[in-house]
Amino acid sequence: MSQMITIELNGQKQPLPTGSAVSDLLSIIGSDGKSVAVLVNQQIIRPENRSARILQEGDEVELLIFAGGG
Amino acid sequence: MDLLQLGSYTFSSRLIIGTGKFSSATVMLQAVRASGAQLVTVALRRFNREQAEDDLFGPLSAIEGVTLMPNTSGASTAAEAVRAAHIARELSGSPFIKVEIHPNPQHLMPDPIETFEAARILAKEGFLVMPYITADPVLAKRLEEVGCAAVMPLGSAIGSGQGLATAAMIELIIRESSIPVIVDAGLRSPSEAAHAMEMGCEAVLVNSAVAVAGNPPEMAEAFAEAVAAGRKAFRAGLMQKSGSAIATSPLTAFLGANG
């Protein structure tokens, strides 16, 4: 088994295989990524950059969607 | 045709619908369709894989003619609102942003200072800024001067259903304003929406009144009709009020009364 890292996903610890990109994280959690905004360490990661952005130990990832609001 | 103009965008519907507080996404989508709204507000929330139904981007975008207007709810400073706006634009692809900064959950009154600052920055960045504000004519004018697309004074506190408690102040805002004035928050009944439109508001934003109605799609339709009627009445020109009666029937020459 490959080595694991731990990132923080929406404030919760999330283990990931070393070398995982943002796009890998999205498939692991079952999101197609189309309606999700991704921030890594407060930086927006646009869809075209998600497979190139490799996550590191301790990275803080925020995934945001549109929910109901007035 | 009588269109609502916001920046370079035009809309034939003058009812803006909020998507919070509905019993389910299905009911919300039915209500949005029934309302005929072309601008629909949404909020940014953390993704939760257990609550996939929360994700409204796909289903709302599938409704023809709908443009999303994300809000910055949850922000309590200008910096947080600007950050939320950047994230929201990334997701929505829409230049509309409802700047909503209310630091106190007890009354949810918008912070005028932080709202002004966020609006100033975002308008400069090219957003179509729709600030949710207290019904303050001075603040409304300042927001117009920094390039907001509209101002959205509250009728009364968010979700309170207290109607147009600020009607007199909103009239002052309308009188002074060169950008659309849109009543946002507090409306309970379609007649209040009609009243706002008769006063000269360019649109109204309604959420709770529809979301928690007995039958949300029916209520959405009722609001749409009231907004259209109010707008028509405004354009037709309301009669002047008079302190005394002015007869509609002739009072003289009645069956020989002067005989």
Give B175-209 pLDDT, tens digit per residue: 999 999 999 999 999 999 999 999 999 999 999 99
Domain count along chain B: 1
- A29 found inside a domain: yes
Q: What CATH number corresponds to the domain at position A47?
A: 3.10.20.30
Residues of B belonging to the active site: 98
β-pair type (A37-40, B203-206) = unpaired
* φ and ψ at residue A49, rounded to 5 degrees: -105, 0
Instruction: Tell me the pLDDT tens digit for each residue of B212-235.
Output: 999 999 999 999 999 999 999 999
Please say whether the beta carbons of A70 and B18 come within 8 A. yes
- B246 found inside a domain: no
Q: Determine the structural domain holding residue B222 and report its residue range.
A: 4-236
Percent of chain B at pLDDT above 70? 98
Residue of B nearest to A36 (CA): B91
Higher-confidence position of A5 and B255: A5
Is it the case that residue B142 has pLDDT exceeding 90? yes
Q: What CATH number corresponds to the domain at position B14?
A: 3.20.20.70
What is the distance between the alpha carbons of residues B42 and B71, in angstroms, rounded to a whole number? Answer: 6
pLDDT-based confidence at residue A1 (cuts at 50, 70, 90): low
Residue of A nearest to B99 (CA): A70
- Contact list in A for residue B159 (CB cut-off 8 A) is 70
Q: How many angstroms separate the Cα of B250 from the Cα of each of B109, B198, B240, B242, B245?
A: 52, 30, 20, 18, 13
Is it the case that residue A24 has pLDDT exceeding 60? yes
Given the structure tokens 């920055």, which residue do they identify?
Answer: B121
- A70 found inside a domain: no
- A69 found inside a domain: no
Cβ contacts of B51 within 8 Å, gap of 6 or more: none
What is the distance between the alpha carbons of residues A67 and B70, in angstroms, rounded to a whole number? Answer: 10
Q: What is the mean pLDDT of residues A29-52?
A: 91
The four Cα atoms B16, B230, B132, B67 give a dihedral, to 10 degrees, of 20
* φ and ψ at residue B32, rounded to 5 degrees: -60, -45
The ipTM (two decimal places) reads 0.88
| Per-residue confidence (pLDDT) for residue B165, from 0 to 100 | 95
| Per-residue confidence (pLDDT) for residue B257, from 0 to 100 | 58
Average pLDDT, chain B: 94
Is it the case that residue B86 has pLDDT exceeding 70? yes
Please say whether the beta carbons of B72 and B98 come within 8 A. yes
Assess B213–A contact: CB distance below 8 Å, yes or no. no
- Contact criterion met (CB < 8 Å) for B45 and A39: no
- Contact criterion met (CB < 8 Å) for A62 and B46: yes
